[in-house]
A and B are shown apart, each in its own frame.
Chain A
């Protein structure tokens, strides 16, 4: 029931938000998201760190076809459920100083998005997973298309075509796998039934690519990324936060759930290719980020680089790499949401995101400086922040599977420092510009968003075992399926 309520509460809150007045929608949305967070905390406290799915639910859906409306939570799901439940209220709170037109629809879409994400991360039926995977796209599409920047129509259409295109491949793969399953009642679309299939190497190769393209577009992995910087830049910041903070994790999650356990032979042939593409993305994205002037676009490229490392870690098929990817998904979600929020704070006061026009902000804003600095340090993986634990484990995982790839991926710690320190210096340090002359420090609601984020930066950095312990049984279990 708990799992089902995680999906239904935001759906319900979203519907209520749709029919309320615009001016009370945001408070209502916040209440809905906080209730959701409370449920997620209950799940967290009752969770047993074993490999099994817990708090499961299952209702027959298309009975004759063996398709069920079923979900449950294991350690891997839990981490992403927690991420979604933690970030959504903060994303809603981050909009409190910014009036959005048609607020009730706006907040309803955010809540629908949360509902779909919860569905993706908890579904134990492949078609249900697919349904939510697609459904998550729709709210964010409208958020971007209606509330976005000048080029929103062109950009969101590109985004939509790209991701839908990838999803079609996944649908083909899922249908194929579905027809391979056998059980007394005929076929089944339980994901765990897919794990038992033993397809030959060639078939696995095809299915690998079908899945890979779908997830590679979502993350995104080089060269399927060109929708991403534009979409991140043009979307309204709350949608960007949802996209970068949570939605891209659907891709990494998909790789862990589907590719690793179902396609060991596919990985054997193509895993290295996937790692190479991911690592190219790390270096490519980082180098492009160096010269960006638009803060949002800069962070978009950095996000692309970071997710490349997560992808490489997952495809390394090592315990270190997958665990690193999981903890980095959490860390990256927290840091990137914080950074995009800071961009929004700066933009809302100066009406510019061009770092060449900024500067000297720190002279008037000790609070903003400290929060920005902490999030930046998390993002450049300084030890004792959350980013370090993730990058350390990821790089070690990649290194374990391929020394050279590990070394090249490692350049992220240098290049990351290059672009992030430049971003920080140009915006915060130096002399004040005409844009930043009357910059006001953080308001109460802004601090209420940033404080929880920075607490998480340090918690995860100082005591990562409280998260690693949750996921390790489930991850080892998955990896054992590869190395049978």
Chain B
């Protein structure tokens, strides 16, 4: 038994350790290893972590399993252990991170094959996996924070991967700094957790929070959850900390798929679900979470309507979908949020990888106005992209339909107006996605002859991951089919133990039951709305063959949308430039002023000490110097005599 447990826990340690090893091997040897080997090492470690995650899944007995490695930081009574916790939530995240992660590693072997930084790229990808796995496996908030900042670093390194280009470097820096703003909130939240609960271990904190000493909407819990949510806003790109994510598209496309769509950006949702006991105790914070989520969802979707860069459309779509997930969390639908995290990981990773395949074929062109008619040249890419587009648009029976519908149903119970805005958002989503699909893959090719000549379907290492993700995007909804459709709600049952304490401390949050007839109507409405949007897009871009206008021809509100509501400009004017000016001012004037004041004060003291003349003549230094010499002489004298 003990041996078995030892085997088990050491196996679990291998999950993050394998990618770390891959990072070290590729990181140290990337200039010496042949390309093939670097790719194999990088992918093999990811696949290995995936295989062990499956073993862990199979061996899971329903009880949280703790694996303690060592005491990391001990200070007085507080002991922060380096330890892992395996439970339903971490297992689900493990499957997504290592599963989708492996596919993207394999895809990158093809995508990055011509890049001189091939080995470095795999080193960074592996390092990212390592930190992401720490994030989801840690058994306390500080380990989560390690992973949290670590993935931020990898995001920084990979956004700026092509570091000769200043714009890319700026985007990388922006991402890191915006995330750091969120991280400060997270860190202060941790301090408050320590102060309130005397521990950072999840199991300790949650059992203490649920032991009856905190009432619903206790101010301490509200502040803790709000601070943690600030961290989530940064990492998961919510208003007002979202502008880094679209810029992050500067990174190689597999990075956008893995980090900026499928895994890292969902860390904020993971954090809220992980802390669900605290959030259930603080409905006030949940209200803010839901509000910000909804606002982000609709704002980002509206920006997506007028973007012409294939990756920018997907980036705003990601921001919007993340908003959807926070909306779900805001109404207490934790399982639905997680469900959407998973289906979104499938179809959004697929969309990005598909976009990568297009960009690869188009010789690095990203403007969809210069594409068109690609479905004949890239059949596999086209069909898989179509499936993902159907999934994200919420068309039955693709994965996105089930998860999105579940969210909307919960929101409907909670607040009809929010449901209405959510529905409009999903219509916009269907529109911009089919706009993207039609403009890219249908009609006539609008690029240069050279590009046309070069058009080709991507190699198998790239198309196989596309196909696998397409299958998952098609059938991923089976995980959690609602009762109304005679499903078993498997995910709901699997995750139920995670929310037992929440139900205990705030049962109201989980009340409400929906008639099947209502559910059918809601499903019908949302699918109908999506189909309407698609028909509209079809009419515009297929029947009338419209191509999105050149930038200079865009006017009115469309121009505002195309320019992302000028939020970047606003931040530049309100935060960045004033900070620069303040920096210059403090340096040129502040320092001078302090010199004057301190020297003046010093002189005042000197006057009162009656030593003005000596000091003003500038001989102080030598006076004191002489004194020290004197002391030294006295010292030596004493030694010599005694």
Contact = CB atoms under 8 A, between A and B. Distances in A.
A393 B624 contact: no
A465 B74 contact: yes
A126 B74 CA distance: 32
B576 to A, nearest CB: 10
Contact of A61 (B177, B584, B625, B638): B638
Interface string A367-398: 00000000001000011100011001101100
Contact of B163 (A319, A422, A429): A429
B108 interface: no
Nearest to A464: B73
B180 interface: yes
Contacts of A477: none
Interface string A279-304: 00000100111111000000000000
B583 A417 contact: no
B360 to A, nearest CB: 25
A59 B70 CA distance: 44
Nearest to B179: A417
A295 B421 CA distance: 51
Interface string A419-461: 0011001001111000000000000000000000000000000
B146 interface: yes
A383 B621 contact: no
Contacts of B625: 138
Interface in A211-256: 223-226, 229
A288 B160 CA distance: 26
Interface residues of B, number: 62
Contacts of A226: 591, 594-595, 598
A63 to B, nearest CB: 8
A364 to B, nearest CB: 12
B183 interface: yes
Nearest to B80: A392
B14 interface: no
A400 B195 contact: yes
A410 interface: yes
Interface stretch (A12-20, A81-89, A157-165, A193-201): A157-165
Interface in A107-133: 131
B146 A465 contact: no
Nearest to A421: B173
Given A291-B584, A430-B164, A161 B621 contact: yes
B484 interface: no
B597 interface: yes
A465 B169 CA distance: 36
Contacts of A418: 177
Contact of B580 (A69, A289, A290): A290
B31 A366 contact: yes
Interface in B69-99: 70-76, 78
Contacts of B632: 131, 135
A417 B591 CA distance: 23
A100 to B, nearest CB: 23
Contacts of A61: 635, 638
Nearest to B70: A463
| Chain A facing B: main interface SS | helix
A425 B635 CA distance: 52
Contact of B76 (A165, A319, A411): A319
A323 B586 CA distance: 32
A168 interface: yes
A59 B180 CA distance: 53
Contacts of B512: none
Contacts of A469: 74
B188 interface: yes
Interface in B164-188: 164-166, 169-170, 173, 176-177, 180-181, 183-184, 187-188
Contact of B146 (A229, A292, A383, A417): A383
A406 B185 CA distance: 12
Contact of A287 (B72, B187, B586): B586
Interface in B459-503: none
Contacts of A413: 180, 183-184, 187
B244 to A, nearest CB: 13
Nearest to B638: A61
A291 B195 CA distance: 37
Interface in A253-290: 284, 287-290
A410 B163 CA distance: 29
A410 B185 CA distance: 9
Nearest to A301: B587
Interface string B560-590: 0000000000000000000110111011001
B583 A288 contact: yes
B638 A465 contact: no
A362 interface: yes
A223 B70 CA distance: 42
A192 interface: no
A410 B176 CA distance: 16
B31 A287 contact: no
Interface string A346-373: 0000000000000010110010000000
Contacts of B583: 287-291
B184 A396 contact: no
A167 B146 CA distance: 42
B33 interface: no
A393 B184 contact: no
B177 A421 contact: yes
A165 B635 contact: no
B188 A417 contact: no
Interface string B122-150: 00000000000000000000100110011
A224 B156 CA distance: 36
B114 interface: no
B73 A287 contact: no
A382 B594 contact: no
Interface in B576-623: 579-580, 582-584, 586-587, 590-591, 594-595, 597-598, 602, 618, 620-621
B631 interface: yes
Given A288-B583, A400-B195, A413-B187, A465 B177 contact: no
A422 B73 CA distance: 31
B628 A421 contact: no
B621 A429 contact: no
A320 interface: yes
A414 interface: yes
B71 A287 contact: no
A164 B620 contact: yes
Contacts of A225: 594
A165 B71 CA distance: 45
A395 B187 contact: yes
B169 A168 contact: no
Nearest to B74: A465
Contacts of A399: 188, 191, 195
A377 B153 contact: yes
Contacts of B590: 284, 288
Contacts of B170: 425
Contacts of A410: 184, 187-188
A401 to B, nearest CB: 11
Contact of A411 (B184, B582, B594): B184
A223 B591 CA distance: 9
A468 interface: yes
A223 to B, nearest CB: 5
Interface of B: 31, 70-76, 78, 142, 145-146, 149-150, 153, 156, 160, 163-166, 169-170, 173, 176-177, 180-181, 183-184, 187-188, 191, 194-195, 579-580, 582-584, 586-587, 590-591, 594-595, 597-598, 602, 618, 620-621, 624-625, 628, 631-632, 634-635, 638-639, 642
Which 9 interchain pairs have the tightest Cβ spacing? A291-B583, A383-B146, A429-B163, A290-B583, A399-B191, A164-B624, A223-B594, A414-B180, A160-B621
8 contacts: A134-B628, A319-B75, A383-B150, A400-B191, A413-B183, A413-B187, A425-B170, A468-B75
Given A60-B642, A430-B163, A468-B74, 8 more contacts: A135-B628, A320-B75, A384-B150, A410-B187, A414-B180, A414-B181, A463-B72, A464-B72
